[in-house]
Amino acid sequence: MVDYIGVADMQRLVRRIGVASFIERLASEIEADFRRWSLFEKSARLASHSDIGVIELMPTSDGQLYSFKYVNGHPKNTERGLLTVTAFGVLADVATGYPLLLSELTLTTALRTAAMSALAARWLALAGSRTMALIGNGAQSEFQALAFHRMLGIRELRLYDVDATATDKLAHNLAAQPELADLTVLRCASIADAVRGADIVTTVTADKRNAVILTPDMIEPGMHLNAVGGDCPGKTELHRDVLLRPDARVVVEYEPQSRIEGEIQQLPASFPVVEFAQVLRGEATARMSPRDVTIFDSVGFALEDYSALRFLHELLHDGSEAPNRIDLIPTLADPKDLFGGLLGSAGRTTLRRVA
């Protein structure tokens, strides 16, 4: 039997812990695993692209546990009443190859993306940052708002989306969260209005194209840019000249993957970047000056999903409740009798030796 977390199970876990607390605890798990960066197998994700979306597999292992995530990204899905991103994942024991956990990751991906964003900002943004512009108010936006409020102390949130109903949805959901009572939420008429004077700018848009959400004239010294939305070849959110600013410092999760799918796909392979693990481990410094513009070119990496699956598996076994389990793997009295297991007769057949 294999532990299983479905959507209802995930909802129950998050309600028990609280969304913001869950994100903060998950961020701690992600940070701990990034500090073990050298132990992990790393590869760019395997992607199958079409004109309307992408389906990807994201595997990694630290030699003890193995995980993978299946995830899609289809920006036009909302026109059909479907989610833009869906996902599920597996955590397995390397010693036996047996899966330990099969879990939904659609909700979890939103939580871990927000956790990663806020974790990176803790290390890259200026201390005392209190104002954030949130460009793109779709499915990821509430999670980002809660994460930055909880983990960085953001107290003013400026919203903009080309779809006003998405902003309405976001503002309504944020107003319903008691812990955000001290958060001032402002609707802005344009991207430029939203980012003016902001300490942190988060872009989380979904179009599968080379969009230009932020232009050089919008960027102010000391800003931290959290570019979340760009996550496949041919999709970007930042004008390339933002990346080329002399005071810009670009941080990525895993450079080979970001070269393919991140904002830096617009730039030559020689363009210098720093991996987040290097910053955490004291091997590199992202911000040299309070006037530097730090850019977290985030595309999501398999290690973050490994951390999420490991965290979920631990939550299932913390004694709070009995985990759900499914019969994904046969249990046989004789592990060599798979045929008998198929027919339901494994372990019951007696063979007589012929003299």
Task: List the chain domain ranges.
Answer: 2-107+304-343, 114-300
Rounded to the nearest angstrom, the gap between the alpha carbon of residue 30 and the centroid of all alpha carbons in its chain is 10
**Cα–Cα distance, 142 to 281 (Å, whole number):** 30
Which position among 231, 292, 297, 305 bears the catalytic label? 231
Query: Rounded to two decimals, what is the model's pTM?
Result: 0.93
Residue 292 falls in the annotated catalytic set: no
Cβ count near 85 (within 10 Å) = 22
pLDDT digit of tens for each residue in the chain (355 aa)? 999 999 999 999 999 999 999 999 999 999 999 999 999 999 999 999 898 888 999 999 999 999 999 999 898 998 999 998 899 999 999 999 999 999 999 999 999 999 999 999 999 999 999 999 999 999 999 999 999 999 999 999 999 999 999 999 999 999 999 999 999 999 999 999 999 999 999 999 866 566 789 999 999 999 999 999 856 677 789 999 999 999 999 999 999 999 998 999 999 999 999 999 999 999 999 899 999 999 999 999 999 999 999 999 999 999 888 899 999 999 998 999 999 889 887 555 444 555 5
**Class for the domain spanning 114-300:** alpha beta
Is the backbone of residue 216 left (phi > 0), alpha (psi -120 to 50) or beta? alpha
Distances from the Cα of 107 to the Cα of 13, 52, 86, 308, angstroms: 11, 22, 8, 11
CATH 3.30.1780.10 fits 2-107+304-343, yes or no: yes
Sequence letter at residue 77: N
